[in-house]
Structure formats: structure tokens, C-alpha cells
């Protein structure tokens, strides 16, 4: 099975800590801290299953996702919307 780098990049944000363009980079099951910026525990906790599956699935459509899709942090006051994509490692 190929390994993917999964990138959740903020495309909209009202959060004072996560800015548009910030990203969380997942390689396998690990957060790449050198390539990630402002990793929010609330956002990561909410989207981690999708990030994990995006890295494992041969085809994201197998679990109901497209190659690129959006997910939102559950905190309604900050409303960070992430664009999730993957690249082959």
C-alpha cells in the first residue's frame, strides 16, 4: 500500500491562532511538526479520523471522500475550515 502525506490547510479562519494558509501535515500516523504550523488539539481531534483514513485508503471514495475536500473545526467561535488533500510520499 502506498504511503501518503496528508495536508489539512486552513482556507478560512476566525481563530486568533490558526491563520489562513497554516497547515497540519500527517505522514502515516504521525504529525510532521517541522512542516506543520499551529496544530490545534481541538481541530486535530475532530478531523484526525478523516486524516488517518485519507492516508490509508487506496481511494478516498472508499470512505466517502474526494481527493480534496473540506472539514471544519467544531469550535463555532473560531470556524476554521480546512482543505484536506494528499500527496504520494
Residues 15, 13, 54, 38, CA torsion sign: negative
Average pLDDT, rounded, for the chain: 85
Question: Which of the two residues, 51 and 38, has the higher pLDDT score?
Answer: 38
pLDDT of residue 1 exceeding 70: no
Q: Given this model, what pLDDT does residue 20 score?
A: 94
Query: Count of H helices and E strands in the chain?
Result: 1, 5
What is the mean pLDDT of the segment spanning 61-82?
86
What is the mean pLDDT of the segment spanning 60-71?
83
Q: Given this model, what pLDDT does residue 3 score?
A: 66
C-alpha cell at 85: 488533500
Which long-range contacts (C-beta less than 8 Å, at least 24 apart) are formed by 77-80?
77/14, 78/13, 78/14, 78/15, 78/16, 78/18, 79/12, 79/13, 79/14, 79/15, 80/10, 80/12, 80/13, 80/14, 80/15, 80/18, 80/40, 80/43
What is the mean pLDDT of the segment spanning 3-26?
89
Amino acid at each position: 500500500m502506498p504511503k501518503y502525506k496528508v495536508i489539512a490547510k486552513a482556507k478560512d479562519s476566525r481563530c486568533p491562532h490558526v491563520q489562513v494558509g497554516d497547515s497540519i501535515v500527517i505522514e502515516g500516523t504521525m504529525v510532521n511538526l517541522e512542516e506543520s504550523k499551529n496544530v490545534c488539539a481541538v481541530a486535530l481531534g475532530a478531523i484526525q479520523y478523516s486524516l488517518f483514513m485519507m492516508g490509508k485508503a487506496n481511494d478516498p471514495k472508499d470512505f466517502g471522500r474526494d481527493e480534496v475536500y473540506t472539514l471544519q473545526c467544531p469550535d463555532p467561535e473560531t470556524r476554521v475550515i480546512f482543505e484536506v488533500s494528499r500527496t504520494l510520499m
